Amino acid sequence: MKDETKLATLGRDPEGHHGAVNIPVYRASTILQPSLKALADVYTARAEDKQVTSYGRVGTPLTYAFENTVAELEGGYRAIAYPSGAGACSGAILSVVKAGDHILVVDNIYGPTRHFCDTVLKRLGVETEYFKTAIDMASFKALFRPNTTLVFIESPGSLTFEMMDVAAIAEVTHKHGAKLAMDNTWGTPLYFKSFSHGVDLSVHAATKYIVGHSDAMLGIVIATKEMWPTLRDTARTIGANAGPDEVYLGLRGLRTMAVRLPRHMESGLTVADWLRSREEVTSVRHPGLPQDPGHGIWKRDFLGACGLFAFELQKKYSDAAVAEFVDHLELFGIGYSWGGYESLVSVPAIKSVRTAEPWQDHGSLIRLHIGLEDTGDLIADLKAGFDRLNKAQG
């Protein structure tokens, strides 16, 4: 079955819901049973890892439908939905580590994941070591210690878009007895099949392209069969369950991913290629461009791209000039997140989130999310921004 068909059919059960095409929203905490024996039977089934509705926090028909659909789409075993992408990243890590462990995290990792490692994990006695995105395998192997239990990567990084050879990272990681977790939000379950590359835990900020409309906070972690029990038990123990309305929006968003993502990809590449022609720009960071350093890995391993990328300006432009460029864009909203139907712009403070490879000698980095608007209109808006940029710089 092709992915497009999976997205339209998985997780549906009209016969179980009076013929409704979509599974209704289950707003439920207590689930009543007709007898003590029935109650005991439900909890026995739950202990056997069957998907029964025993308590709202554990799962409902809607929750299971969403989780199963994403897991099958990406090629994993089972999945857990979280209240946010940040919660999913934290939950994935907590399902592996214990006090006294050492973990390796790539330096371009999602900011909230870094903050979690530097604060909560440190307080719990887990040491985090950050490594360079362009690390060679010999240097990577040298980082492992007897107590290294987890490697956490993001490829491409969602600020600076470096690509990593995930399969090579996975091979080294497993040889040292550790697990590999990956933030796959950029690739989505549609465009990067992480489990075929050796990933043990795949994390998504479903807030982005899975929901697709900038109106819900949602995360999900997919696991291999081996990792599933600890992922499941950790999430249930800390009570990290997603709300029913958000899960419904996530499942609804999946239905149109195969239509939305190609448009985001095509439009993103069109705008990125146009930006390459601008003299104000020193580099465009988009793995889908043939000129990008990570293009070979992207072309080999990915089935597509999303609409998120960045470009770097010449160092001569002041912060005030950059603000003139950004503040008056008409079609790009200034804000965090991405993956919705609308275009966005931000100016990340890279220096504050890099330690293994300090961000030095660079001009301002501008990150764009290209939405579903007409690319001609978006380019015209950016062109006017460059005019303001040059006028402000003088």
- CB neighbour list of residue 236: distance below 8 Å, 6 or more residues apart: 57, 58
Please indicate whether residue 110 is annotated as part of the active site: yes
Among candidate residues 114, 208, 255, 354, the one labeled active-site is 208
Residue with tokens 């024996």: 37
Tell me if the bond preceding 156 is cis, omega within 30° of 0. yes
Among candidate residues 78, 101, 107, 110, the one labeled active-site is 110
Please indicate whether residue 208 is annotated as part of the active site: yes
Segment holding 208, helix H or strand E: none
Please indicate whether residue 57 is annotated as part of the active site: yes
The phi, psi pair for 346, rounded to 5°, reads -150, 165
Among candidate residues 6, 12, 46, 57, the one labeled active-site is 57
**Are residues 315 and 187 in contact, defined by beta-carbon separation less than 8 angstroms?**
no
Contacts by 379-388, CB closer than 8 A, 24 or more apart? 379/270, 379/271, 379/274, 381/329, 381/330, 381/331, 381/332, 382/271, 382/274, 382/275, 382/329, 382/332, 384/328, 384/329, 385/325, 385/326, 385/328, 385/329, 386/278, 386/280, 386/325, 388/324, 388/325, 388/328
Among candidate residues 183, 200, 292, 301, the one labeled active-site is 183
Tell me the C-alpha distance between 21 and 161, whole Å.
38
Active site members: 57, 110, 183, 208
